[in-house]
Amino acid sequence: MGKGIRALLSDIGETPSSSKPDNIHGNVPALGQILSIPIHEININPFQPRNEFDDEKLEELAESIRIHGVVQPLTVRRESHGKLQLIAGERRLRASKKAGLQEVPCYVRSASDQESLEIALIENIQREDLNALEISYSYERLIDECALTHEELSKRIGKKRATITNYLRLLKLPPDIQNAIKDQRISMGHARALASLDDVLLQLDLLHEILSDNLSVREVERRIASLAKRKPKAKGKKKSSSFKAMEEKLSSQWSTRVRLNHKANGSGEISIYFHNEEDLQRILDLLQ
């Protein structure tokens, strides 16, 4: 799993020399051993950072397990009441159930609630099929719930601090852009470029251009650089921070650019931008 997970597991001791796991046979599992444990005796990890599992990929893994068995043991810990709780490997556990296995090989270790969360999150980050937003949430949880600094997290997972910062910035993007990341309609490169903009309205405008014109990351970066060179002169009275916040909130909720024109007498106008007739109908449906 790389240096990060190895560092967490370094206090366990050596793996038993036998490649074939012992059977638990109702005995209390010893720490640092690989045992064959009945699936029904393993409780799911409440700290599991991943809630969604691809059914098709899960079935593919189940088919592999039917043929080759579980190649990588699951990691479990003994709880205070004597039961076993999964630390890492829920995807393997689910696939093993689909494959019809009654027992799975497990590595038994000692871990506190925080260590269990940390191991589960770090194993989750090591996966190759995560989208950028899932990685961002895992980074945020490691920082918040495991009380890690950016520097400490950087060392644990073997990533540069700048990389961690870029992922965390994705969590501040509007919901529409986050959904585009989840659905893989835009790449991490696109998302990182959009996150460099402070203006939510510009972010949403560029998102629509990316999707409608199939813009590459380089093209998006060029457009952002061009915007940065422009220094428009302020016209009239500057909008208050509360009105600016309202514009951004409406733009984010309706997934389009919204402008508020506030007049001196207290009246005003709302301008809502739409890209085409289909987009206009979408906005009308929202308003209704």
Is 118 a residue of the active site?
no
**pLDDT value at residue 49:** 59
pLDDT tens, position by position, 227-279: 777 655 545 556 677 777 788 778 777 777 788 887 777 788 888 888 778 87
**pLDDT value at residue 232:** 54
Q: Which CATH class is domain 3-112?
A: alpha beta
**pLDDT value at residue 44:** 83
**CB-CB neighbours of 165 under 10 Å:** 13
Instruction: Enumerate the CATH 1.10.10.2830 domain ranges in the chain, comma separated.
Output: 125-229
Q: 194 with 203: CB under 8 angstroms?
A: yes
**pLDDT value at residue 50:** 64
Tokens of 158: 């073997």
Instruction: Enumerate the CATH 3.90.1530.30 domain ranges in the chain, comma separated.
Output: 3-112
Q: 30 with 102: CB under 8 angstroms?
A: no
Q: Pseudo-torsion of CA 160, 163, 167, 173, nearest 10°?
A: 140
**pLDDT value at residue 5:** 46
CATH architecture, range 125-229: Orthogonal Bundle (1.10)
Please tell me which residue, 32 or 186, carries the higher pLDDT value: 186
Residue 281 to residue 161: CA distance in whole angstroms: 43
pLDDT tens, position by position, 71-110: 889 989 887 676 788 988 888 999 999 999 999 999 888 8
In a 10 Å sphere around its CB, with 0-12 CB exposed, 13-18 middle and 19+ buried, how is residue 132 labelled? buried
**pLDDT value at residue 63:** 94
**pLDDT value at residue 33:** 77
Residue 1's pLDDT band, with cuts at 50, 70 and 90, is: very low
Tokens of 27: 């005995």
pLDDT tens, position by position, 167-203: 999 998 988 899 899 888 999 899 999 999 988 888 8
- Alpha helices, H only, the chain: 3-8, 55-68, 90-98, 113-125, 132-145, 150-157, 161-169, 175-182, 188-195, 200-213, 217-229, 241-254, 277-287
Q: 24 with 35: CB under 8 angstroms?
A: yes
> For all residues of the chain together, what is the average pLDDT?
79
Closest by alpha carbon to 31, among 107, 113, 89, 85?
A: 107
Q: Which of 90, 103, 118, 123 is catalytic?
A: 90
Name the range with the highest mean pLDDT among 62-66, 107-111, 140-144.
Answer: 62-66
**pLDDT value at residue 235:** 53
In a 10 Å sphere around its CB, with 0-12 CB exposed, 13-18 middle and 19+ buried, how is residue 42 labelled? buried
